[in-house]
Amino acid sequence: MKRVLLTSSLALALFASAASAQDRILSLGSSTTEILFAIGAGDKVVARDSTSTYPAEVESLPDIGYLRALSPEGVLSVNADMIIAEHDAGPVETIDVLKAASIPWISLPAGWSAEQIVANIRTVGEASHHVAEAEALATEVEAQLAAAATAAASVPATARKRVMFIISTQGGRVMAAGQNTGGDTIIGMAGAVNAIQGVDGYKPLTDEAIATAAPDVILMMDRGHDLDAANSDLFAIAPLAATPAGQNQAVIRMDGAYLLGFGPRAGAAALELHNTLYGGN
């Protein structure tokens, strides 16, 4: 990690001396892209990965494919002066080629904490020479994250709702978020408790595990259109229907990139989830 930071700051320093207004940036990862557009550096972005879908104007940029399966020639073909990437961009073979081609590579650590989200905004600001705008955004996001944290902390331990984040219900199998997931993190940031404890990652649940979890609320991604299971389909799964959430038909749906992006909108997303859960505003 230290080495990554060192190389990226070195690359940054080297690059800063030769910087011009014509920087061509390749943005890899949804939060990276969101930050670039939010600080007004969107016109420098020449290409993006397939996870970058917000704001809407990025859809017209060339898509170089999935973040973790980048092809070296595809990346080189967009002729970028600089690559700003989330931590899990890869594979290593591709990154080795890009290093050999001496394209500055700035790697952003995973933004699972408020501090990291804000730090990433500042890093992107420096790299793209939009320092002032990045500082303004960082302050704003910091305030939103702090507001969300205050709201979350105001919920007494006994009143915390148990939330189950369901990522899919294919074939009647409930796949839910355990620990070390974006779903778990955002539930905590909103002042609620993940109903699924003692499980690592996204896992299919047994009927008994669903009953034991006894969620008060189901949280799901809103993909729009007819892609999502309707409430009637969701609660056709018997053990789910028997939970408090099932009896109250308590389902919250939020846009996936907004809810789990952990970019500049993370504070707003956490606060919105908090307000939906506890009826505040």
Partner 1 sequence: MSMALSHAGGDVDLRELRAKRLTILLAVALVITCALSVLFGASGTSAIKVLGQWLRGEDITLVDRIVLLQVRIPRMVLGVLVGASLAVSGAVMQGLFRNPLADPGLVGVSAGASLGAIVAIVLGGFLPAAFAAMIGSWLVPAAAFLGGWGATMALYMVATRQGRTSIATMLLAGIALGALTGALSGIMIYRANDNQLRDLTFWGMGSLAGANWPKVITAAPLIVIALAVAPFLGRSLNALALGEAAAAHMGIPVQRMKSIAILTVAGATGAAVAVSGGIGFIGIVVPHLLRLAAGPDHRHLLVNAGLLGAIVLLLADMISRTIVAPAELPIGIVTAVIGGPVFLWVLLKQRGIIDL
Q: How far is the CB of 1 from partner 1 (least distance, A)?
A: 12
The residue among 43 and 96 lying less far from partner 1, judged by its C-beta, is 96
CA gap 64, 147 in Å, rounded: 36
Q: Is 203 in the site for partner 1 (CB under 8 A)?
A: yes
The pattern of x and - marking residues 91 through 120 that bind partner 1 according to CB under 8 A reads xxxx-xx--xxx------------------
Least Å distance, CB 48 to partner 1, is: 10
Please, which residue, 77 or 247, has the CB nearer to partner 1?
77
Residue 102, sorted as left (phi over 0), alpha (psi -120 to 50) or beta, turns out to be left
Tell me which residue has tokens 């700035």.
106
Give me 75's structure tokens. 């990346």
68 scored as a contact of partner 1 (CB under 8 A): yes
Are the CB atoms for 151 and 273 separated by under 8 Å?
no
| Cα separation, 31 vs 133, whole angstroms | 16
Q: Which stretch binds partner 1 (CB under 8 A): 56-64, 218-226, 248-256, 270-278?
A: 56-64
Q: Across the chain, where does the E strand assignment appear?
A: 25-28, 45-48, 82-86, 105-108, 162-168, 175-177, 193-194, 202-204, 217-221, 251-254
Q: Which of 11, 28, 75, 196 binds partner 1 (CB under 8 A)?
A: 75
Which residues sit at the interface with partner 1, rule CB under 8 A? 47, 50, 62-66, 68-79, 88, 91-94, 96-97, 100-102, 180-181, 200-203
